[in-house]
Structure 1
Amino acid sequence: MRIALISEHASPLAALGGVDAGGQNIYVAHVAQCLVEEGHTVDVFTRRDDEKQAPVVYVKPGLRVLHIPAGPASFVPKEQLLQYMPEFAEACIRLCNAGLHYDVVHANFFMSGWVALELKRRLGTPFVMTFHALGLVRREHQREADAFPPERVQIEKQLVQEADAIIAECPQDQQDLMRLYGADARKMIMVPCGFDPGEFAPMSRYEARQQLGLDPDEFIVLQLGRMVPRKGVENVVRAMALLPREIYPRLLVVGGESDKPDRRATPEIGRLQDIARRLEVDDIVTFTGRKQRHELRAYYCAANVFVTTPWYEPFGITPLEAMACGTPVIGSAVGGIQYSVVDGLTGYLVPPNDPQALAKHLTYLQAHPALSRALGLAGVRRAQSMFTWDQVATQLSATYRRLLPTMADTAVPARGARRSRLQLVRPRADDAAANAAAAAPLMVAK
């Protein structure tokens, strides 16, 4: 099959750990590569957010990343990107009219879904929808902190109705789609996120700590991921203040917008540093800054326990990576974490925003190293049996194939097709002309 993956703000080529670079980037990158390894041809459409980016990046035979001009060629927070989706869609349609053809489109996040719906209506291409996060669920947890435009929920409801298939990433995601959006269970398939066994596998804790220059005797708690408030890192910092100092605790916080911790580049790091200082644990809380993918295995393996306690998490890839490395996980009992982590078998589930509960479980694990090792081994078995990216890609490609025979008879003709009912801000004529010129190099790269 020829497959288009749309991921408007989360490029598979982006450096991870920043505000808008995390699980979705990893998902798109690995799904694309595994689909190509199955023999499919894949193009990833993502927004051009740097004027130095090449229009087309050839990642490997059969896999390209196409940087689509939509809005300024610079970083724009994803909460402000909806206004540029008509430009994004027009650029994609020009490419298709110039000779690119796809059997199926897989949209990632609601704005990519808006673009995919335009492609379906105007070109007849079926699309699969993975939301990665839902606006109504986000509102339940973040309330006034949710900065997305109100149109998001209307768009998501429309996508639930018009997508040809919906990927739910965990049982909670499936329930939320039915409860809040009235999703048809017959259109949904549950396909989790994954990990790469070539990247993440157990190694000696002593060797990992030597590699990273860490103390061999400390009880190391690892927090790794995007530095945003909803990830609940403050909860972990507060739990550290409740641990007895005689167990030699150390919290490593990996992530941020820069390779070295910088409160100006990553304001959330500055906020957390201030909290650690007020709680008098700044001497045992270490912010490492952003790390490259090839460095993460050593961090997972060096830790006694991996902790992730977000308020809201649609799935959560980092718990899988930690489990694959043989490290027990303590996670909040929310979203996909309560599916990937089995309480009492591969780690523990705790309420979000409850540092006392987290500290209790950390102290217990420190006191029972044999149990900790058993949890870690069970995590490896669970991750390898259920959550590899190869398994994810196989399930996705089976979903794509099921759409092709049915869509052959019901495809919407390209000419005269109805336009989207969603009234978004349309691009100005001069912007459209400039973007058409910028997209020209893409059109010849068939």
Structure 2
Amino acid sequence: MHIALVGSPSTAFADALSRAGHRVVVNPDRLVADVVHRLLDVPVDVSPGTPLVHTWHPREPVPTDADRFVVASHVEAAALARMGLPRRRIGVVPEAVDLAKWTPDGPKARRSARPRLLFHGDADRGFAVLRRLPAAEMLVVTAHHDPLIARAGHWGVADRVRPITCADPALVRSVDVAVHAPTGTEPVTPVLEAMACGVPVVATEVGALPDTVLHGVTGVLVPSATPRALARAIQALLTDRTHRAAYAIAAVDRVEQRHTWDRVAVDALRIYHSALEDVLPDVGREPTATGS
């Protein structure tokens, strides 16, 4: 199959499609291909009879020119269905993580004896959680270190907050629990990175998180995003080494089975073939791919 990727595709995604035996071109000058996959909402001029697959993100308008839609979770698929799109035109392709980089094996960053949390989400919510966990320290990813510390001071937790510009694998491996509590639908990449490093996750039930974190298997899903509910779930996990170890093993396995680029390519190829079936019924067959 000749596939044109338009927008801002990941190099890893394009490489995985190529490994599956398909010809892939990225942002070509002329859209001459069997299938065009648009990953950003940009204008494209697709030849008649060429299916257009569109990756849709929440809060974006739904384009009228797409034959198939790719979303990252079943929650997003349900949202499109509520807008009137037939289910057959919607396919779920989860996010992926680079398992050559994010792995449980490798060096760990130095740390104190305190239980260590890695927090993604609203900073005030994180500080409210930390105030309920007086023994713990918290790493918070931010580009604005000084304002973050000042804000933490208002909550009385500045001495236990460490702002970081980015979370590298060694830093993630040093964490006891990763906490993901976004205020809305956001990419789950930080969760996948933590899981791939063997770190159990506590997350709120927002967006793709219920698809990513298996409650009671790879981590804990908290229905309520209140600081009290999050702190209670984190404290229970911090005091249960057995469950943390079990979740860590299951998290690594989950990522290896569901969130590799080869697996993402397989899911995308199924959608491409489905779109082609509408114009060329005889091509409807399982794609040849390296994953399953």
Answer whether TM exceeds 0.5 for this pair: yes
Matches within 5 A, 1:43-442: 43-45=25-27, 95-96=29-30, 101-109=32-40, 111-112=41-42, 115-116=43-44, 119-120=45-46, 125-131=50-56, 133-135=57-59, 153=61, 156=62, 159=63, 161-179=64-82, 181-203=83-105, 207-208=107-108, 212-215=109-112, 217-223=113-119, 231-244=121-134, 247=135, 249-256=136-143, 263=144, 271-290=147-166, 296-313=168-185, 316-351=188-223, 353-404=225-276, 406-407=278-279
* Contact residue 92 and residue 267 of structure 2 kept, 8 A: no
SS in 2 for 1:283: helix
Q: Is the Cα contact below 8 Å between 1:232 and 1:352 reproduced in 2?
A: no
Q: Is the 8 A contact 1:345 1:378 kept in 2?
A: yes
- The percent identity for this pair of structures is 29
Q: Residues 233 and 309 of structure 1 are in contact (CA less than 8 Å); yes or no, is this contact kept in structure 2?
A: no
Cα displacement (A) at 1:188:
1.6
Partner Cα distance (2:66, 2:101) in 1: 33
The CA deviation at 1:315 is 5.1
Please tell me whether residue 6 in structure 1 is matched to residue 6 in structure 2: yes
CA RMSD of aligned residues (A): 2.4
Which structure shows the higher helix fraction? Answer: 1
Q: Which residue identity does 1:126 align to in structure 2?
A: P
Cα deviation 1:354-387 (Å, max 9, x = unaligned): 1111111222122112221111112122222222
Alpha-carbon offset, residue 405 of structure 1: 5.3
CA–CA separation in structure 1 for the residues paired with 2:75 and 2:278: 29
Alpha-carbon contact 2:117-2:137 (below 8 Å) kept? yes
Which is greater in Rg? 1
The letter for the 2-side match of 1:171 is H
Q: Distance in 1 between matches of 2:149 and 2:77?
A: 37
Unpaired stretches in structure 2, ≥5 consecutive residues? 282-292
Contact 1:311–1:352 at 8 Å: present in 2 too? no
Shift of the alpha carbon at 1:30?
Answer: 2.6
2:285 alignment counterpart: none
Q: Provide, for residues 11-38 of structure 1, a one-character-per-residue CA deviation record: whole Å limited to 9, x for no partner.
A: 46xxxxxxxxxxxxxxx33312211222
The alpha carbon displacement at 1:102 in A equals 2.3
| Conserved? CA contact 1:2–1:40, under 8 Å | yes
Q: Deviations over 1:323-376 (max 9, x none)?
A: 121110011111110111112221111246411111112221221122211111
Paired residue type of 1:396: A
- Aligned mate of 1:29, from 4, 7, 11: 11
Paired residues of 1:233 and 1:310 also in contact (CA < 8 A): no
Partner of 1:77: none
How far, CA to CA, are the matches of 1:128 and 1:341 in structure 2? 27
Q: Aligned residue pairs: how many? A: 281
User: CA offsets, 1:202-260, max 9 Å, x none?
Assistant: 126xx41xxx3323x22110135xxxxxx42331122111112xx3x22112343xxxx
Q: Deviation of residue 124 (structure 1)?
A: 5.0
Structure 1 segments, 4+ long, off by >6 Å, are: none
Cα gap change, 1:234/1:29 in structure 2, threshold over 3 Å: closer, same or farther?
farther
Cα offsets for 1:37-63 (capped at 9, x unmatched): 223333333xxxxxxxxxxxxxxxxxx
CA distance in 1, matches of 2:34, 2:123: 42
Conserved? CA contact 2:148–2:163, under 8 Å: no
Residue identity opposite 1:250 in structure 2: E
Structure 2: how far apart are the matches of 1:127 and 1:315?
23
| Separation of aligned partners in 1, 2:147 and 2:223 | 22
Task: Give the counterpart letter for 2:75 in structure 1.
Answer: Q
Q: Which consecutive unaligned segments of at least 5 residues does structure 1 have?
A: 13-27, 46-91, 136-151, 225-230, 257-262, 264-268, 410-446
The 3-state SS of whatever aligns with 1:106 is strand
